[in-house]
Structure 1
Amino acid sequence: MERTAAPSSSSTAAAAGAIASVTGSLPVLIPILVAGLFLTLTLAVTIGPVDLDMRTVWSIVAAKTFGFTGEWTQSQENIVWMLRLPRVLLAAVVGAGLAVVGVAMQAVVRNPLADPYILGVSSGASVGAVAVLGLGWLAGMGAFAVSAGAFAGALAAFAVVFLVASAGGALSPLRLILAGMAVSYTFSGLTSLIVMTSDNRELARAAMEWLLGSFGGARWSNLGLPALVLLVGTGYLALNARRLNALLVGDETAATLGVDVTKLRRTLFIVLSLLTGVMVAVSGAIGFVGLVIPHIVRMVVGSDHRRVVPVSILTGAIFLVWVDVGARMIFAPVELPVGVITALLGGPFFLWMLATQRWKLKGAK
């Protein structure tokens, strides 16, 4: 079976060594990232058209959570508790989810250029979500219908891309990217078709939010399912970190190490599709988070998934929270879609990866 080199090079290894000397070991890095995430969440809630200080923010949180009392206005309480805090937390959950999906997806297909957006999985999830709203599918599932539809669409897209890329028994990196592009275009066309032929006048607005990505409508009710799926999904990936390491070196080698490759890959398809589907259902098709974050994390901590998974979760959460802050503030009072900013950041990064790792695609059939 054709093997794809792990996402590293001599220059990357040198950079990793230099950074590792600064960041120290994982037991030091994780607390630093946790503290950074806590500070990020706090600062993100304070930033907006109405200035708030950190003391007021956490006083309101303590009051709503534990019943403490303090001095603040009703307007400040509404801004913190009803608007900014659920939005910031949802951005953190989605950022963590998309980052860890990118980590696992790159291991499954053994390609550092893989992520849910590039491989068309996010587009598949968008089709499923829009189909639920526009065609009334899965109406019996109530509030979970959109997430279920997004999951089904993500699973279908992932399966098609992988089957096409592995045709002939060898997983081709070039065919993987091309199949992802084809699936992405196809599902984007299906999304447009559903929107254009639906009698639901609100569907066009909702579909545009999914296509561009936004946390503008975040509410506390949006947080429960994504947080639960993130907890379960990342827990599964953390428990199978050694098996993900084995997948990086090829199916045959992984099998000799006692890994049931077929069973593991099928389970990962389901887990990754569920994670992608739920995240897309609440935020839209936000691209490049699953590409940029895992690659940067591997430069810092190496390719061992016992390190990459937890660091990517925290880094992805921090990253997307600040992207959302930028979306809110750069052109305030006009709000940019989050997906626009991630595309502007991730697109050049993707081109850089294609240029510097072009040798990995040479000879791909």
Structure 2
Amino acid sequence: MSKKSVLAYILSITLLLVSMWLGIAIGSADIPISTLWDKETNPTAYSILWNIRLPRVILAALVGASLAIAGAAFQGLLKNPLADPYTLGISSGASVGAVATLYFSMSIPFLGTFTLPVFSIIGAAITMIFVMGFAKLVDRSMKMETLILTGVIFSSFLGSCISLMIALTGEQLRVIMGWLLGSVSMRGWPYVQMIIPFVIIGTLLIWLNRRELNAMIYGEDRAKYLGVDVKKSKYAILVGGSMLTGAAVAVSGTIGFVGLVVPHMMRLVIGADHRHLLILSFLNGASLLVICDLVSRTIIAPTELPIGVITAFIGAPVFAYIFYKQRKKGA
């Protein structure tokens, strides 16, 4: 491992620890993090840290990490720096699955609390299949513009499906609207427990195909020559990415651009080697969303902004810059 890689890991881990420390300690009332180990002195502060802030910070970290590593995998698989769960419409598909679950008050007995993330993941996977299939039908080479426009088309259609359910809903309206705004507020430990299995499985599916992602950078034919089972690897990466996206959307709502910004920045720092890119995207995606969540609840305190507003302020200019850069390169 090069010195540059070691330094990137040290800085990324340090940033994550510092951001989590700040996220736990800072809020409407600043509480020393040492209170986590001191129940007797101030039981109220202890309860706030353990039952509200700590699960919130951990959930934000897991959601950010999930979206970032999924974005890195999609960008590597499609060889497209603009590919991420948000721009490809996969987040919208996951949202439809989650909103439909809330709208119909669905709860499958053997799934229990996992009904919401499972339907969200199914929505993400189906959307990914349709987006890829339609893009290939329009343009077999699946150029950047084709993928992005296909993602926009499907996002618009799925957005109208969500609007229809909102228009028809009654007492679930507040729940659906609160969820759609994108937030990790007042979720608690049950939501952390809900997302963890999917984060582990989805991350493992992508991580086990890190070398295959490196081989596929040079094209599918080259990857086959190097002994890669391209079809199997593609499915594993797509399933892993959809699982991570669906689970993240299920617990936090739609939060855009994390999967676009973080992998792009890490690629500038460390290069396109997915052995390092995936881990660093995971760590820094977690840090970014913890910091964005901290900003969202402190910038106009006591009012909280939806976390998606903060990520959009960061992500939209970066998206525009990457798109401009790619177009100039192709010109």
User: Given the two structures, how large is their TM-score scaled by the length of structure 2?
Assistant: 0.94
Q: Which runs of 5+ in 1 are unaligned?
A: 1-22, 61-69
2:315 to 346, 353, 356: 346
Question: How many angstroms apart in 2 are the aligned matches of 1:225 and 1:294?
Answer: 25
Partner of 2:55: 86
Deviations along 1:105-146, one digit per CA (max 9) or x if unpaired, are 111222100111111111110100111121244533321111
The residue aligned with 1:171 is 142
Query: For residues 66 and 144 of structure 2, what CA distance do their matches in structure 1 show?
Result: 24
Q: Name the CA distance, whole Å, in 1 between partners of 2:129 and 2:85.
A: 12
Amino acid at match of 1:98: L
Q: CA deviation at 1:235?
A: 2.3
Name the counterpart of 1:9: none
Q: Is the 8 A contact 1:166 1:172 kept in 2?
A: no
Q: Where in structure 2 are the equivalents of 1:72-221 lying within 5 Å?
A: 72-137=41-106, 139-140=108-109, 141-167=111-137, 168-199=139-170, 201-202=171-172, 204-221=173-190
Partners of 1:100 and 1:209 lie apart in 2 by 26
Could you tell me how far apart the structure 2 residues matched to 1:40 and 1:92 are?
A: 10
Deviation at 1:232, TM superposition (A): 2.3
Note if contact 1:173-1:361 (Cα within 8 Å) is conserved in structure 2. Answer: no
Structure 1, residues 56-93: CA drift from partner, whole Å, max 9, x if none? 24x24xxxxxxxxx643121012101111100010001
Aligned AA (1:45):
I
Distance, in Å, in 2 between the alignment partners of 1:326 and 1:138 is: 34
2:322 counterpart letter in structure 1: M
Aligned CA distance change for structure 1 residues 208 and 24 (closer, same or farther; 3 Å): farther
Helix, strand or coil at the partner of 1:315: helix
**Mapping of residues 62-77 of structure 1, within 5 Å:** 71-77=40-46
Inter-partner Cα distance in structure 2 for 1:359 and 1:252: 28
Q: Distance in 1 between matches of 2:155 and 2:161?
A: 10
Q: Distance in 2 between matches of 1:361 and 1:295?
A: 18
Q: Give the deviation of 1:291 after TM superposition.
A: 0.1
Instruction: Check whether the contact 1:138–1:149 (CA below 8 A) recurs between aligned residues.
Output: no
Task: Give the alignment partner of residue 31 of structure 1, picking from 2, 5, 10.
Answer: 10
Find the aligned partners of 2:56 and 2:264 in 1 and give their Cα distance. Answer: 26
- Equivalents in 1 of 2:68, 2:152: separation in Å? 20
Partner of 1:318: 287
Secondary structure at the aligned position of 1:313 is classed as helix
**Worse overlay, 226-235 or 320-329:** 226-235
In structure 2, the residue matched to 1:45 is 24
Show CA shifts across 1:10-58 (max 9, x none).
xxxxxxxxxxxxx93323432332233222211211101111123224x
Q: In structure 2, do the counterparts of structure 1 residues 53 and 137 end up closer, same or farther at CA, with 3 Å as the change threshold?
A: closer
**Equivalence for 1:263:** 232
Task: Name 2:201's counterpart in structure 1.
Answer: 232
Where structure 2 has 5 or more consecutive residues not aligned to the other structure, the ranges are none
Q: Which residue of 2 aligns with 1:64?
A: none
Check whether the contact 1:212–1:284 (CA below 8 A) recurs between aligned residues.
Answer: yes
Segment of structure 1 superposing worse, 40-49 or 233-242: 233-242
Determine the C-alpha separation between the residues in 2 that align with 1:133 and 1:77.
Answer: 33
Q: Which amino acid aligns with 2:131?
A: V
In structure 2, how many angstroms separate the alpha carbons of the residues matched to 1:143 and 1:180? 30
Q: Secondary structure at the match of 2:12?
A: helix
What corresponds to 1:334 in structure 2? Answer: 303
How many Å separate the matches in 2 of 1:165 and 1:361? 19
Amino acid corresponding to residue 171 of structure 1 in structure 2: M
If the length of structure 1 is used for normalisation, what is the TM-score?
A: 0.86
**Within the alignment, does 1:55 sit opposite 2:55 as a pair?**
no
> Alignment RMSD, CA only?
1.8
Could you give the per-residue CA deviations for residues 248-296 of structure 1, whole angstroms, max 9, x where no partner exists? 2221221111112122112222111111111100011100000000000
Q: Quote the Cα distance in structure 1 between the aligned partners of 2:318 and 2:13.
A: 26
Aligned residues of 1:289 and 1:346 also touching (Cα < 8 A): yes
